[in-house]
Amino acid sequence: MNNAELMATLKKQAALIDVVMEKDLTIIESPLLAQIIRHAIFQGGKRIRPLLTLLAASLVGPPPAETARLAISFEYLHAASLLHDDIIDHATLRRGAKTANTIWGMEPVILAGDYLHARAMAVACEVGGPTAMALIGRATAAMVESEFLQMHNATEMLISEEKYFQVLTGKTAALIAAACEAGIACNHGSAEQRLALRTYGTNLGLAFQIIDDLLDYLGDPGKTGKAVGNDFQEGKMTIPLIKTLEQAEDKDHETLVALLKATPQERREQLSTAHALIEKYQGFVLARAQAELLLTEALAGLVIFNEANTKAHLTALAYYVLNRDK
């Protein structure tokens, strides 16, 4: 399956998810709350998490009629996390548009995020029962704890690969894994099948972020919408840099550490130096190899399922993540 076929299928399913969310959100009575939530949810986004719920459910037969409603709970949680992230980061732009906190201020946006979280739990409980609630609870707890880990890591200039992946597992992978596992669980998948989807979702989330880290250094700004080296300029330790520091000779290690201690302006001016050192120690190559390994492990678990279009979609999605350019 090529990317065009995959995107056509996902676009059709994403349109269905949007219809379900539009209908569900009509219960909101506050005009301001409705406005903030519409801004958060319908301002773009590929609906990856709810799409994974639908695809996972389809692996073991036609999904229950209410699966799409279960799926939207994961988009609500994702949108809630973005609203709160933008407040924490004092962000002014999201997907090329003004952030909700820039438009409406901090207090109503915090409450809107809380509402989306509460609505996600209510919908999940209604459709998926205790199983879905447990998955959402664990994912939400992991997301919150990862924020605290990230705050702690920010106090340390150098962080290990282990600490980096601890944050990433909670911040990105936990919700994707829960979306996958909830899908297969709602269609009465076995414990083995649920584990396979949990692993697939976790690894997909980790690989996605690794590729994001690579695109920050190697991507085309016209496609990514971000300046090259933005993470490095902000002093962020991402996986290409972490792997480089693990292997660099003393002199080169000291050069990179000095740059991390420097001002953002100095890092911007010395970006080519950092880029050259990462290439010298194969930081980019090693990071991509790790993403490839994660996705190989993710796909290996799917062998327990019969060949079907849904399995092909999940496989194609993994390769799309690996080879994406934005």
pLDDT at position 25, please?
Answer: 97
pLDDT of residue 44: 82
Distance of CA 139 to the CA centre of its chain: 12
Nearest to 204 by CA among 104, 95, 94, 315: 315
Please name which of 30, 171, 36, 44 lies closest in space to residue 106, comparing C-alpha atoms.
Answer: 36
In the listed set 189, 204, 238, which residue is the last one of a domain according to the structure? Answer: 189
Q: What is the model's pLDDT at position 93?
A: 87
**Residue 249 tokens, joined:** 């000779």
Kindly report the CATH number assigned to the domain that includes residue 174: 1.10.600.10
Residue 273's pLDDT is 96
* Structural domain ending residue among the three candidates 136, 170, 189: 189
In this structure, are 288 and 226 located in the same domain? Answer: yes
**Model pLDDT, residue 46:** 87
Write down the pLDDT at residue 207. 97
Is the Cβ–Cβ distance between 318 and 295 less than 8 Å? Answer: yes
Q: Which domain holds residue 257?
A: 190-326
Q: What is the reported pLDDT for 193?
A: 97
SS3 30: coil
pLDDT at position 5: 83
pLDDT for the residue numbered 221: 84
Weakly modelled stretches of the chain, pLDDT under 50: none
- CA dist., res. 126 & res. 224, Å (int): 38
Whether 261 and 302 map to the same domain: the answer is yes
Query: Of 189, 204, 229, which closes a domain?
Result: 189
Report the domain count for the chain. 2
Is the domain of 28 the same as that of 161?
A: yes
Q: Are residues 184 and 194 in the same domain?
A: no
Give pLDDT, residue 126.
96
What's the pLDDT tens digit per position in 237-261? 999 999 999 999 999 999 999 999 9
Radius of gyration in angstroms for the set of CA atoms belonging to the chain, rounded to a whole number: 20
Inter-residue contact 279 to 272 (CB < 8 Å): no
pTM (predicted TM-score): 0.94
